[in-house]
Structure 1
Amino acid sequence: MKTFGRQIMAGLLLTAVLVCLAYTLGMVSSLNTLPMTVVYDRKDKPLTQQEIEKLREAEEKRESPVPFTAWCQRKGTLSYPELNRETAADLVYINGDSNLLAAGTHPLTENGENGCLLSEDLAMELFGSIQAVGEIIKAGESEYTVQGILTERESLMEGAKLAILQAEKDVKADQISVAIGEDPNGEKAYAFAMRLGAEGEMFPMQKYVDLAGFTTSLLLLLIGGSMILPWAARLIRCRKQPFAAAFCLGFILIISMVFYKVSGMNLKIPESMIPTRWSDFEFWGEWFRRSVESLTSFLYAQKTGIQAVYAGGALAAAGGSLLSGCCYLLWYRACRPKTLKSFYLWLLTAVILEFLVVVRMGNEFMLQPSERRIIWLLLPLCLTVSFVGRQLFEKLSCPESHPKLQDKSGASSGRVQDA
């Protein structure tokens, strides 16, 4: 009965691992669909609509113009006069392309007038449905036509009451989102900010995606470490036995290569960590200090509604990784198949649970790009390595682990002699 209860607990832990892993991967994938921009803070020197138009005209005359959207966020009230409904919301007034703030199927552009996009929760409160395209709403005395809905799956705006409105002439913009485009280092975006003046702070939205990806990588490393570390410990214990040590070392190399292929991890040293001179050993200390200061100021900076969407997604991915890692360690400790029959049973259980989780949660999240879905082989791989490796090692175990009985003369004997 005790063994049966333990197996049930292990099954529940495995289910929790898979659900949290699916949630984390889905959150990271959703973050990758959001616009990657650099947000430039202009609260000290907000821009009028006329200044924004002049800036856009000057930028379009350049050889490589940089797309940007100027915006501001305010607390306000939206109303739907036809049903006599109104609700408080975060109102984002923009001058430019709304796709630089939140991805949507019907973006607003700088050429449109009096258009708006609503989050799903806001649309439900005003209209009782998300089928609201073409409806007329009011913000203050101004009327706006709903041109699209920001769905939770596309924009991570679960529970958000956010409206993106095309700015009127008297609205000043204190934030500018600059597109990174195909420039991964954001050099053009930073050059654009320098042309405006570098008094304000700059917030790369890519940092939120990097944070979510980092926590996911830690989870994958935990799974990989649980497969490799036991064999490293065996290698240390058997260092005086050449054959067993060679077997352990070869098994570690095989596990590492398979794990690297399945996990799809891209181990790469950031360019900012590479010093100009390799003899500059103080560089890493200074780099670490500056990185911590930059990350601290980035995390504790006041978030607008748009930035809160990115921050919430990164925090959700971190929480999912942490919970999945804790459940995985408990499951790894509880699930130790000792017979071939129990191994096949657990392997089949893992595959079935993974299939059910992917089918159920795949409708809500893009769990992973098709070329990375091989990552779901990690749990079956972990089971296989744990069982097969243990069975092989028992046959090639160290002599020290099975000491022979010795007689009085000191010679070893493989059997116990009768008294």
Structure 2
Amino acid sequence: MKKKKFFAAVLCALLLAVSFSAAEQIKSCYPALGLRWKEPLSQTQAEALRTAAGEQEDAPLYPTFWREEQGQAHTELHQADEVTAIRFNGEGSLCYPARFISGGYPGSEDTSGCAISTALAWQLFGSNDVVGQSLEWEGISLTVRGVFEENERVLLRGCSLADTFSAVELSGSFEDDRKAQAQELIRQAGLPLPDSMVYGQSMGTAATGLCFLPLLLAGVLLISECVRRMRNLPPVHRQVLLFGIGTGLALCLPFLLEQLPGWMIPAQWSDFSFWPQLGETLLACLNEWFAVFPCRKDVLAKQALTILAVCSAAASMLTVELYNRTRA
């Protein structure tokens, strides 16, 4: 029996570790507020948005423009079809969560440089040690600046604002309502409102919260067990234990609130109309995310979310099973 409990506890810990790893993957996919348009932005529109963002004094924002496309890459000896290429102007890490094994992202204005995935490096060069090598992407000669881990053929390259873009990542100092601030910035720049938004911080918060569900469940079961056993304690001991539990919860509350965006915290906890509205807002954000035409990083995030949901549910069931076995 003890061995079964031990193995169940180890398995639960492993599931939690996988859950937190998946949550970090989601956070790396969405480190900023994402704006998506069906109709690409022109150079004039991109410059107007960057200018408007630079004029924000209280909460400056920094836009990174990018676009994903499919095409062909080749060297003198090898060719790769159906390559996913992401061109960007700004911070490359906001557009794609690359884990580099050598080199790094090309510069924002480095129109002759690129970074490629390990899958593409092996197909074109037969090696991962290819920094400094040259390839052609849709007739454009590029030099490899970095190689990152990825089992799909992916290419990242910098470009100027003269290109067209269908997505923008907004980073910087946001106020509580990110959506309203982003929409106001877009209006100031004279751009049409985006067809969809991806709320990066909220996605990361939700993913982390899902990871903590088994731990929260374990805490609730532990407290309930303590309360059950308190009935047999002397009144003084019972009061001390209740005080300890209350103090622990009070100390944990500020940490938990720090993990939440400002718009998810009510101004008055007694405002019961806030909670249904919050649920509707979260559901609308989730529906909007699933309705987005998936880019490569959206696929990675949804894969991580599936792993996270399965592992969190399994860890929760194991927690309940361990509790029942302990009481038996």
1:72 and 1:174 in contact (8 A); partners too: yes
Distance 1:28 1:264, change over 3 A: farther
Distance, in Å, in 2 between the alignment partners of 1:245 and 1:294 is 49
Q: How does 1:281-360 map to 2 (within 5 A)?
A: 281-334=272-325
Residue 203 of structure 1 aligns to a residue in which SS?
A: strand
- C-alpha deviations, 1:59-89, integer Å up to 9, x for none? 546657532122221222322x244242432
Matched positions, count: 319
Instruction: Tell me which residue corresponds to 1:16.
Output: 11
Measured after TM superposition, the shift of residue 16 of structure 1 is: 0.9
Normalising to structure 2: TM-score of the pair? 0.79
Structure 1 unaligned runs (5+)?
1-5, 152-157, 338-419
Distance, in Å, in 1 between the alignment partners of 2:277 and 2:177 is 21
Distance, in Å, in 1 between the alignment partners of 2:205 and 2:270 is 29
Measured after TM superposition, the shift of residue 279 of structure 1 is: 8.2
1:95 and 1:110 in contact (8 A); partners too: yes
Instruction: Tell me which residue corresponds to 2:105.
Output: 107
Residue 88 of structure 1 aligns to a residue in which SS?
A: strand
Distance, in Å, in 1 between the alignment partners of 2:262 and 2:157 is 39
Measured after TM superposition, the shift of residue 213 of structure 1 is: 1.0
**Percent same amino acid among aligned pairs?**
20
> Relative to structure 2, which stretch is displaced further, 297-306 or 141-150?
297-306
Instruction: Tell me which residue corresponds to 1:365.
Output: none
Distance 1:283 1:327, change over 3 A: closer
Measured after TM superposition, the shift of residue 30 of structure 1 is: 4.8
Distance 1:320 1:132, change over 3 A: farther
RMSD across aligned positions (CA): 3.7
Distance 1:287 1:85, change over 3 A: closer
Higher-Rg member (1/2): 1
- C-alpha deviations, 1:116-170, integer Å up to 9, x for none? 222333333333333222121222222222212234xxxxxx5343222234788
Distance 1:169 1:39, change over 3 A: closer
Normalising to structure 1: TM-score of the pair? 0.64
Distance 1:265 1:222, change over 3 A: farther
Q: How does 1:30-41 map to 2 (within 5 A)?
A: 30-32=25-27, 36-41=31-36
Distance, in Å, in 2 between the alignment partners of 1:222 and 1:308 is 30
Instruction: Tell me which residue corresponds to 2:62.
Output: 67
Residue 113 of structure 1 aligns to a residue in which SS?
A: coil
The counterpart of 2:122, out of the listed 107, 114, 124, is: 124
Measured after TM superposition, the shift of residue 300 of structure 1 is: 4.1
Instruction: Tell me which residue corresponds to 1:401.
Output: none
1:228 and 1:252 in contact (8 A); partners too: no
Higher relative contact order (CA 8 A, sep 6+): 2
The counterpart of 1:221, out of the listed 216, 220, 245, is: 216
Distance 1:198 1:182, change over 3 A: closer
Tell me which amino acid in the other structure corresponds to 1:106. Answer: G
Distance, in Å, in 2 between the alignment partners of 1:255 and 1:283 is 28
The question of 1:173 aligning with 2:165 is answered yes
Measured after TM superposition, the shift of residue 261 of structure 1 is: 6.5
Distance 1:29 1:287, change over 3 A: closer
2:202 and 2:261 in contact (8 A); partners too: no
The question of 1:28 aligning with 2:26 is answered no
Distance, in Å, in 2 between the alignment partners of 1:182 and 1:272 is 12
Structure 2 unaligned runs (5+)?
none
Residue 178 of structure 1 aligns to a residue in which SS?
A: strand
Distance 1:211 1:168, change over 3 A: same
- C-alpha deviations, 1:334-383, integer Å up to 9, x for none? 4579xxxxxxxxxxxxxxxxxxxxxxxxxxxxxxxxxxxxxxxxxxxxxx
Residue 67 of structure 1 aligns to a residue in which SS?
A: strand
Distance, in Å, in 2 between the alignment partners of 1:270 and 1:169 is 32
Measured after TM superposition, the shift of residue 221 of structure 1 is: 0.5
Q: Higher strand proportion, which one?
A: 2
- C-alpha deviations, 1:305-355, integer Å up to 9, x for none? 123333433443333222222223333434579xxxxxxxxxxxxxxxxxx
Tell me which amino acid in the other structure corresponds to 1:173. Answer: F
The counterpart of 1:266, out of the listed 220, 245, 256, is: 256
